[in-house]
Amino acid sequence: MEISFRSSTSCFEFAIEFLGWMYETILAFDSLISNLKKGVRLLQSFDLYLTKCRRRNHETCLEQDEEEKDVTSSRIQDLIIRRMEGLEFACSEYLIHSRSPDWTHIEGELTIFLEAIKLFFETDINESCINFLLDCYWLRDPELVIDFIDSVSENLAEIDESHFKRLDKKLMFLKSFIRFAIFCGIEGQKSIDLLIHAEVVAINALHVFSIWWFDSGTYNGEVWKKTELQICRLISEKINLGNPQVRETYNHVLTLAKLSRSSDILALEKNKHLVADFMDDLITNIMELVESCTNTLVPIMNQMLKLLEGLRFLTILLRHQEKFKELCHEMKNLIVVVACDAAVVIISLSVNQIEEGLSKETDLALFHLLKVLKFVRAEFTQVDPLTPVSGFGFPRISELGSMDFLLRNLKELARSDEINGSNAFPVDTIQTIQEDFEFLRSFLEKIKEQRNQNEKLQAFWSRVMEVAYKAELVIDWTLIGDGREYFLDDVARDINVMKIEAQEIYDRINYVGETKRVTKTFTRMPSKLTAATYNEGLVRLDNEVETITQRLTKGARQLDVVPIVGMPGLGKTTLATIIYSSSSVMLHFHIRAWCIVSQAYSMHNLLV
């Protein structure tokens, strides 16, 4: 048998495959072969780093240092090639004399191979060597750092032990963080600190694993205890978010990510799995924090659970191709901002804060983040009202009470002298939202008992509540000047559509058999609804929409009126709403206006 190697990587791959064949075929020396295989993987990871890293500073790193690094890499490969030749020869003899094999020759080669690797770690890849590499060299390129992290992770995955698993999770978080930063456009010099940090963590993790591997032949409690202390020290000093330098590095990248994020929706749709992976790791970090707490305050625990639910909802949404496509561009971009904000909040958290109380800054950031999550959830419910999502908004047992609270705030806001004195604040829009919410609040009160027996009524109820949550958040944004005031008109339109739909629901109910008249405040609305009444479907309106749209956009240029007439329940208001909101009508007319005339109306209010 002859071994031929075309690249530095192939010698490691060949050795690992060969040892795997020995483990399955020879059925002897299982422990020795398994341990040797781990040693080869370790050398492969160090060789990857040595061959890819480059000098940081030409003034501080002499040329002979670069040559020494290259020589070390060459010696690693030579060791593998030389020892594999001896091992392959021993195995060839085994195959020839399989009936009476000479086990001592194979065992001897395996032992020599193992001792050679251990000696190499003692002399060439010891702690001083690691420190030298970290001081003078770096990988710098994000993809190289990710490849190195993957290589280190393969080593850690060999050990089914909680401390190594925890260390591996930390490496995977760094990997997804780097991927997320690249997606957000953080590259080059902007990402250097994060890449160096990830590189330092990865090579230290590999070094800890190599120390464990070197001593693992004894398999006693002292070895495990020593390894656990080393891993805990590495996590505490190099990875733990409680380290101010680590937290500063992460926050710097996240701040740049928010400022640099691209509005390229196609890029987001193509790479949304990166955002989802990053959120998954954020969820893992929250869970670790919460699990580490022994005495958590109930309000803070509730906030943590809401945050967990919100992020889980977003990861599911990101991974659902069809549902994600249905969201508008603004919502898709907002999800990326949420990922950045969530990371900032989670990075700022600590066990002490969760147990004793959040700082004012963290508490405010978390409060804002939870409201944004409610807003995104509300938008999704508008897109797909029949898809159930877990709740992390107002308590469901007091939804009407929550709306009452919002209405009180709207009334105070509309009367506020300070706000009314500001030309920038849309007081008229706030007043309109307030009036429409009062209308909807009265309607919900009348159907609160019947909604549980009717799926469509329940869906309508949920959509109204989501619009309420959305309104609360957008008004907060408008008050603090958060640059999202343009959402307020969307909210007002959504509320108006809900109001129209509520009126239409009643018209259909009234047409079936109720004779009581409805006023604007629904004070005389019937208190009983039946599922059969509301479940009657509307006729298809496609032809009517096309006909009326053609008449509006391509008809006579002089003033004209296009009436829509018919018996109650046919969907006249729905038809008008579809046409009014269609893109062709919106582009054709410079000015549009919508005015509601109920069965009982005031001429003065109508004209105003």
- Per-residue pLDDT reduced to its tens digit, 160-189: 788 888 899 899 999 999 999 998 888 888
Residue 603 in this model has a pLDDT that exceeds 70: no
Nearest to 378 by CA among 518, 530, 485, 495: 495
Site of tokens 């999704």: 380
Dihedral sign computed on CA atoms, order 418, 422, 424, 427: positive
Q: What percent of the chain lies above the pLDDT cut of 90?
A: 13
In the predicted model, what is the mean pLDDT of residues 241-245?
77
pLDDT digits (tens, 9 = 90+) for 361-371: 888 888 888 88
User: How far is the C-alpha of 208 from the C-alpha of 164, rounded, in Å?
Assistant: 10
User: How far is the C-alpha of 376 from the C-alpha of 370, rounded, in Å?
Assistant: 10
Planar angle of CA 326, 329, 335, nearest 5 degrees: 90
Phi–psi pair at 8, nearest 5 degrees: -65, -30
Query: Are 116 and 47 spatial neighbours (Cβ–Cβ below 8 Å)?
Result: no
- pLDDT, residue 514, reads 42
Query: Are 66 and 51 spatial neighbours (Cβ–Cβ below 8 Å)?
Result: no
User: How far is the C-alpha of 376 from the C-alpha of 309, rounded, in Å?
Assistant: 13
Question: Which residues fall within 8 angstroms of residue 562, CB to CB, at 6 or more apart?
Answer: 548, 551, 552
Residue 530 in this model has a pLDDT that exceeds 50: no
- pLDDT, residue 131, reads 82
pLDDT digits (tens, 9 = 90+) for 27-36: 778 889 999 9
Exposure of 338 in the CB half-sphere (CA atoms within 13 A): 28
What 3-state class would DSSP assign to 421?
Answer: coil
DSSP tag of 539: P
Residue 529 in this model has a pLDDT that exceeds 60: no
pLDDT digits (tens, 9 = 90+) for 272-296: 899 999 998 998 888 888 777 777 7
Cβ atoms < 10 Å from Cβ of 603: 8
Residue 204 in this model has a pLDDT that exceeds 50: yes
Exposure of 370 in the CB half-sphere (CA atoms within 13 A): 18
Which tokens is 188 given? 């080059």
- pLDDT, residue 57, reads 61
pLDDT digits (tens, 9 = 90+) for 309-357: 788 888 888 888 777 887 888 888 888 888 888 998 888 887 777 778 8
Residue 7 in this model has a pLDDT that exceeds 70: no
- pLDDT, residue 416, reads 62
Planar angle of CA 195, 201, 206, nearest 5 degrees: 125
Which tokens is 126 given? 């010891």
User: How far is the C-alpha of 172 from the C-alpha of 183, rounded, in Å?
Assistant: 16
Nearest to 307 by CA among 398, 371, 395, 388: 371
Site of tokens 């990710």: 146
Nearest to 487 by CA among 500, 466, 471: 471
Question: Which residues fall within 8 angstroms of residue 538, CB to CB, at 6 or more apart?
Answer: 570, 571, 574
Nearest to 454 by CA among 528, 343, 552: 528
> Burial letters for 289-299: b for 16+ Cβ neighbours within 10 Å, e otherwise?
bbeebeebeee
Site of tokens 């694993």: 209
Question: Which residues fall within 8 angstroms of residue 241, CB to CB, at 6 or more apart?
Answer: 247, 250, 285, 346, 347, 348, 349, 350
pLDDT digits (tens, 9 = 90+) for 53-78: 887 765 445 555 566 677 788 889 99
Find residue 137's DSSP bridge partners.
Answer: 55
In the predicted model, what is the mean pLDDT of residues 574-602?
72
Which tokens is 394 given? 């107002």
What 3-state class would DSSP assign to 54?
Answer: strand
Nearest to 311 by CA among 388, 395, 389: 389
The DSSP bridge pattern shows strands 137-138 and 54-55 to be antiparallel
In the predicted model, what is the mean pLDDT of residues 401-413?
76
